[in-house]
Structure formats: structure tokens, C-alpha cells
């Protein structure tokens, strides 16, 4: 409920953050660590991870008796399944047992479909989908082995937070490398919510709009003009603001998380089986969108035709 703040307790918990060397993963780590949540940062770049751990650990007084959270890092390319098996074994060996799993890794290369390279296509699948799929599957199997003497309902409560994108609500030209994989994450969240609930898992899915990050800056270098036009003027929010909104909505018990009004509005057009936010208003907006959608599609297709004719 909008007035609740108790549905995402982090004090004394442990969070595994995939994609924790930059972007919103770092901002989430900072916020959780300051609230006494132990953090495990995972990414491919060891040097960046070391820098982030040093920076985050200095945010609190290490001598404080009220703060006993720990922070560590594990370099790992989680797009490779075997690496994920090793990752979970390493986590257990170090004495950690994550209650919260953030799958933040993602990378967009906005280009026209004809301009995408085979490497671009592969990275879209690896970074935007397999990083989440592999970690969750390997992690669940690992936890299943650790709890083989327990009934599913006796398992420790855990929370998976997957990161999709507003583009999965409204895929359009220029996002052929990115949008389909983020739609796959949305679909995966629905399936995991059904399959893992008996094992005491909560599954949430975040659909962020634009936020300031290294990745956002890289996107601007290849983004086609027609993509910019359809997307419209975009003033990205800070990564810190994005992290605050995500934690706030998780605390209120929402499992479909958007970070701006546009995201919420576009989400109304594809309600389907997704958990809802302000569902009464979403149903009304969905009806309105269904009426104006043909006009919007005509306008977009007209802009695309003019762009290609000009080119």
C-alpha cells in the first residue's frame, strides 16, 4: 500500500548486487549499506569493484556499534553459467547468505537494426538477459541443495529484484539490441513469481526510465536521430534519486516498479498479469491508451517513413 514502509526490511540483511561496479547498482549499494545491510558487489571489472567497495565502506563510521554490515566484492562474468556456479559457492564459502538479489546489469547500444553488428547482438543477450537468468537459476539450485532437508515453506525469505526497462512497455526503433531482452526479463519475472513463491521468494521487477549513469552517456553516442525524436526530450534523473524511488516502492510492497510518470503511463498499456500500482487508475488509463494508440502509431510510423526517405 502507498502508506506502508515496512515491506522491504534491509537492516541486518545481505544483498547481492549484480552489476555493482557502476550505475544504479552502486547507488543501491550505498543506500542499503548505510541502512546496515551487508553488500556483495559483483561485476566483471575487478578494479572498479575495489574502488566502489573503498568508497562505500567510508560512508559510515566503522567503529559504530549500531552498524555491523560488511561489504565485499567478487569479480565474475555472470553471462557464463559455470561462472555463476562458482560465484554461489564462493559466496557460501565467505559466510554470506544473500536475502536480497538485485540483477542490475544492463547495456544498451541504440542503433538501427541494419547497423547492429553480431557482437552488438550477442552482448544484448549476454548482458541484458543471461546475467539475470544465470544468477537466479544457479542461485536457486545452490540454495535448494543447502536446504534439501527442509520443506520449501521453511526456507529463509528471499527477494529477487530484476531490472527490465520502460522500453519493454513501449519498444520502438533503435532498440532492437536492448528492448527484446528487457521484455524477456519482464516475462521471466512473471514466471519466477509463480514458481518461486512456494519457496518463500518474493520477485519484483523494475522498469526504470532514463537515469544518469556511465551507460546513459554511452547510449547517446550511437542513438539514431529518429530514436531521439520518438523518445522526446529526456532529462535523466540522478542514479541516487532512481535508487531512492526503487527502495521506496519496494518498501510500500509494490512489485512492478517505475521511476517516472511516463514509465507508469506506458505500463498501463500492457497491464496483463503484471502486479499493479494504483490499479483502478491504471485500468482507466489503459482504456484511454487503447483509444489513442492507433493515432500514436500512425504518427510514429509517419516520422519513421520521413526519416528513411530523407536518409
For residue 159, what pLDDT is reported?
97
Of 98, 32, 27, 99, give the one whose Cα is nearest residue 60. 32
Q: Which range marks the domain in which residue 86 is found? A: 14-284
Q: Which one has a higher pLDDT value, 302 or 3?
A: 302
Q: How many domains does the chain have?
A: 1
- Per-residue pLDDT for 1 more than 60? no
| In-domain check, residue 169 | yes
77-113 per-position pLDDT tens digit: 999 999 999 999 999 999 999 999 999 999 999 999 9
Percentage with pLDDT > 70 across the chain: 97
Which CATH number covers residue 209?
3.40.50.720
Find the catalytic residue in 21, 164, 165, 189.
164
| In-domain check, residue 23 | yes
Distance CA 141, CA 149 (A): 14
Report residue 303's pLDDT band, with 50, 70 and 90 as the boundaries.
confident
For residue 2, what pLDDT is reported?
59
Average pLDDT, the chain: 90
Cβ-based neighbours of 151, under 8 Å, separated by 6 or more: none
Residue 158 β-bridge partners: 201
Least confident residue range of 49-63, 128-142, 241-255, 267-281: 267-281
Of 20, 16, 33, give the one whose Cα is nearest residue 69. 33
For residue 64, what pLDDT is reported?
67
Distance CA 6, CA 29 (A): 19
| In-domain check, residue 115 | yes
Find the catalytic residue in 13, 182, 183, 213.
182
Catalytic (active site) residue 164: yes
Amino acid at each position: 500500500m502507498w502508506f506502508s514502509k515496512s515491506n522491504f526490511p534491509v537492516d541486518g540483511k545481505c544483498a547481492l548486487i549484480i552489476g555493482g561496479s557502476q550505475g544504479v547498482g552502486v547507488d543501491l549499494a550505498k543506500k542499503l549499506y548505510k541502512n546496515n545491510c551487508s553488500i556483495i558487489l559483483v561485476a566483471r571489472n575487478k578494479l572498479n569493484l575495489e574502488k566502489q567497495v573503498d568508497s562505500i565502506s567510508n560512508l559510515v563510521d566503522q567503529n559504530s556499534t549500531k552498524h555491523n554490515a560488511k561489504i565485499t566484492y567478487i569479480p565474475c562474468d555472470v553471462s557464463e553459467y559455470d561462472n555463476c556456479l562458482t560465484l554461489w559457492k564462493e559466496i557460501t564459502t565467505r559466510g554470506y547468505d544473500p536475502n536480497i538479489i538485485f540483477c542490475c546489469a544492463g547495456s544498451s547500444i541504440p542503433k538501427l537494426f541494419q547497423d547492429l553488428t553480431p557482437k552488438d547482438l550477442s552482448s544484448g543477450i549476454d548482458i541484458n538477459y543471461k546475467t539475470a537468468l544465470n544468477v537466479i537459476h544457479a542461485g536457486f539450485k545452490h540454495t535448494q541443495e543447502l536446504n534439501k532437508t527442509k520443506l520449501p515453506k521453511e526456507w529463509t525469505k528471499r527477494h529477487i529484484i530484476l531490472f527490465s526497462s520502460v522500453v519493454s512497455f513501449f519498444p520502438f526503433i533503435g532498440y532492437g539490441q536492448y528492448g527484446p531482452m528487457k521484455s524477456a526479463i519482464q516475462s521471466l519475472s512473471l514466471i519466477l513469481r509463480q514458481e518461486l513463491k512456494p519457496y518463500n521468494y518474493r520477485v519484483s521487477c523494475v522498469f526504470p526510465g532514463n537515469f544518469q549513469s556511465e551507460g546513459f552517456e554511452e547510449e547517446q553516442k550511437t542513438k539514431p536521430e529518429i530514436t531521439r525524436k520518438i523518445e522526446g526530450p529526456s532529462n535523466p534523473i540522478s542514479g541516487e534519486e532512481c535508487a531512492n524511488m526503487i527502495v521506496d516502492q519496494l518498501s510500500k510492497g509494490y512489485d512492478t516498479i517505475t521511476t517516472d510518470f511516463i514509465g507508469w503511463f506506458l505500463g498501463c498499456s500492457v497491464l496483463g498479469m503484471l502486479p499493479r500500482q494504483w490499479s483502478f487508475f491504471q485500468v482507466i488509463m489503459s482504456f484511454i491508451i487503447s483509444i489513442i494508440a492507433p493515432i500514436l502509431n500512425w504518427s510514429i510510423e509517419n516520422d519513421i517513413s520521413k526519416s528513411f526517405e530523407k536518409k
